[in-house]
Amino acid sequence: MPTIQKILVANRGEIALRIMRTAREMGIQTVAIYSEADRNALHVRYADEAVCVGPAPSSESYLKADTIIEVCRKLNVDAIHPGYGFLSENANFSRIVRDAGLLFIGPSPESIEVMGSKLAAKAAVAHYNIPMVPGTPSAITDRDEAKVISAQIGYPVLIKASAGGGGKGMRVVECEADFDEQMDRAVSEALSAFGDGSVFIEKYVTSPRHVEIQVLGDQHGNIIHLFERECSVQRRHQKVVEEAPSAILTPEIRNAMGQAAVDVARACGYYGAGTVEFIVNDSLDFYFLEMNTRLQVEHPVTELITGVDLVKQMIYIAEGKPLTIRQEDLQIKGHAVEVRVYAEDPANNFLPDVGTLDTYIRPQGNGVRVDDGFEQGMAIPIYYDPMIAKLITYGDSRDEAIQKMIRAIDEYQISGVQTTLPFGRFVMEHEAFRSGQFDTGFVSKYFTPEKLASPANSTESTLAAVLAAYLLENTKPKATLSMPNGTATGTKKSQWKANRLG
């Protein structure tokens, strides 16, 4: 059985750091790669060795498979962890890694290939009795036929890119008159984002919830699930707030979904960590959406409620070790909530708002986990995903986790860019979220920028932020002192207030 001694993390930012931390705990050496835009990044400083692999655009650096393999040869690396995004769901890359005699910390190229296509995935699980949303079983080739099927399914329907991901290539069609226009849009978006214009139709489930199951499989055919994550608070079909467990599942439905997820994994001979996504309607019927063959952004909420380090398990599995966790050993303990802190302006349609983190002070304390890749004074590069951090809180109960989240958001001090933190606070305080009765329409149903009432949007606070930034620049030693007992003075106070909601 190969034992990994040196891992290269083919990623950047918070996830690169998160992976290297576990590797270090396991006594494994770490190698970072970075682009010219990331020279001073924290993941570069954290690694035992770091190699620049090219200019800022990811196509010229983080996506350069051959360069990455070359780095592994030079530095005697034995395994590559791809993180999420970038090359993580690229079957070809995992094949190249395998052919180079290295371990890919993830599933086989064959599993990635099948699950990378939503249509192939549906075909693969067809024999397993997994509930699926009504729709076309293959890519649309004939529009008239597609319209007939849509009418049978009943509008609204969703046109979806088979190769889709990250919420892209998806169009809702309300009625037949809109069909052609939405179809054109979906195909062109799919072509430009994924280089593959295949689209299919699914019934658009109204008021759905997104609930996904974490699975772990080893190379000996053992597969377990680690319960669910609720990810229904989304903008642009992308998640912003996640939690585990879901506020609405019964133990029976949880078991049934867990079993279905294990079957999906079995259908593609899965090993490694993976996520099976389901859509759940208001009667709690669930339907298979897709499987993500990688570590998920929101994996920490699962780690907190199960006590399992998913990256550690991924490493053991890649080494060929059998799983030592049995399904019956697993229990949900407590509740965890995650807010993704994006450099985006929630008051302006969640548009990315890149810039420099003039102030950046993390919340701390019992039950608070911050996974990030930035420090005060760093700029958020325009080339990559604008996620600054993931703020995760854990408590004995859902209410406790939410209260901790509100406290942590209030402590988090960020200036220089707008962030999704005030939106996170809005969600935590909203009665629909508090009661657990919400769906993927949360943002469109309840959220308008005025609801933020954030001082950060007012002229007064903009002035305060400018003044604070000036003071920070000119009184460095004092300004970088951390705040004692949450009490704020001078510069700090205006910053403190700038992050709070009225």
Which residues are identified as catalytic?
294
Count of residues engaged in binding Mg ion, rule: CB under 5 A = 1
Count of residues engaged in binding ligand ADP, rule: CB under 6 A = 28
Does residue 296 belong to the site contacting ligand ADP (CB under 6 A)?
yes
* Contact by Cβ (8 Å): 119, 190: no
Does residue 228 belong to the site contacting ligand ADP (CB under 6 A)?
no
Q: Which is nearer to ligand ADP, 176 or 329 (CB)?
A: 176
Query: Least CB distance from residue 298 to ligand ADP, whole Å?
Result: 6
Does residue 16 belong to the site contacting ligand ADP (CB under 6 A)?
no
Site string for Mg ion, 236-275 (x = CB under 5 A): ----------------------------------------
Does residue 385 belong to the site contacting ligand ADP (CB under 6 A)?
yes
As a whole number of Å, the end-to-end CA separation of the chain is 58
* Contact by Cβ (8 Å): 412, 421: yes
Distance CA 135, CA 131 (A): 12
Q: Which is nearer to Mg ion, 106 or 373 (CB)?
A: 106
Tell me how crowded residue 177 is: count the other CB atoms within 10 A of its CB.
9
Query: Least CB distance from residue 290 to Mg ion, whole Å?
Result: 5
| Residue whose beta carbon is closest to ligand ADP | 165
Is the previous residue joined to 245 through a cis bond, with omega within 30 degrees of 0? yes
Q: Which residues does residue 17 pair with via DSSP β-bridges, in sequence order?
A: none
Angle at 494 between CA 492 and CA 499, to 5 degrees: 95
Tell me how crowded residue 307 is: count the other CB atoms within 10 A of its CB.
12
Strands 344-345 and 272-280: unpaired
* Residue from 43, 210, 225, 492 binding ligand ADP (CB under 6 A): 210
Site string for Mg ion, 271-290 (x = CB under 5 A): ------x-------------
Listed ranges 18-26, 52-60, 161-169, 184-192: which one lies at the site for ligand ADP (CB under 6 A): 161-169
Distance CA 473, CA 349 (A): 31
* Contact by Cβ (8 Å): 305, 227: yes
| 202 binds, options Mg ion, ligand ADP, none, Cβ within 5 to 8 A by partner type | ligand ADP
* Residue from 82, 83, 85, 395 binding ligand ADP (CB under 6 A): 85
Does residue 197 belong to the site contacting ligand ADP (CB under 6 A)?
no
Site string for ligand ADP, 51-70 (x = CB under 6 A): --------------------
Site string for ligand ADP, 130-149 (x = CB under 6 A): ---x----------------
The 3-class SS string of 265-288 reads: HHHCCCCEEEEEEEEECCCCCEEE
Query: Least CB distance from residue 277 to Mg ion, whole Å?
Result: 5
| 204 binds, options Mg ion, ligand ADP, none, Cβ within 5 to 8 A by partner type | ligand ADP
CA 113 to chain centre: 20
| 300 binds, options ligand ADP, Mg ion, none, Cβ within 5 to 8 A by partner type | none
* Residue from 61, 90, 234, 306 binding ligand ADP (CB under 6 A): 234
* Contact by Cβ (8 Å): 228, 184: no
CA distances to 120, 245, 337, 394, 398 from 433, in Å: 35, 14, 12, 17, 11
* Contact by Cβ (8 Å): 188, 214: no
Tell me how crowded residue 126 is: count the other CB atoms within 10 A of its CB.
12
Strands 238-244 and 359-361: unpaired
Does residue 363 belong to the site contacting ligand ADP (CB under 6 A)?
no
| Residue whose beta carbon is closest to Mg ion | 277
Does residue 186 belong to the site contacting ligand ADP (CB under 6 A)?
no
CA distances to 170, 302, 403 from 246, in Å: 25, 11, 17
- Phi, psi dihedral angles at 238 (to 5 degrees): -120, 145
* Residue from 2, 131, 167, 486 binding ligand ADP (CB under 6 A): 167
* Residue from 202, 218, 228, 243 binding ligand ADP (CB under 6 A): 202
Query: Least CB distance from residue 276 to ligand ADP, whole Å?
Result: 10
Does residue 383 belong to the site contacting ligand ADP (CB under 6 A)?
no
3-state secondary structure of 443: helix
Distance CA 88, CA 65 (A): 11
* Residue from 21, 49, 56, 84 binding ligand ADP (CB under 6 A): 84
Distance CA 121, CA 103 (A): 25
Query: Least CB distance from residue 180 to ligand ADP, whole Å?
Result: 20
Residues 6 or more apart whose Cβ sits within 8 Å of residue 74: none
Q: Which is nearer to ligand ADP, 85 or 217 (CB)?
A: 85
- Residues lying near ligand ADP in the complex (CB under 6 A): 84-85, 133, 158, 164-167, 170, 202, 204-205, 208, 210, 234, 237-239, 277, 279, 289-290, 292, 296-298, 385, 440
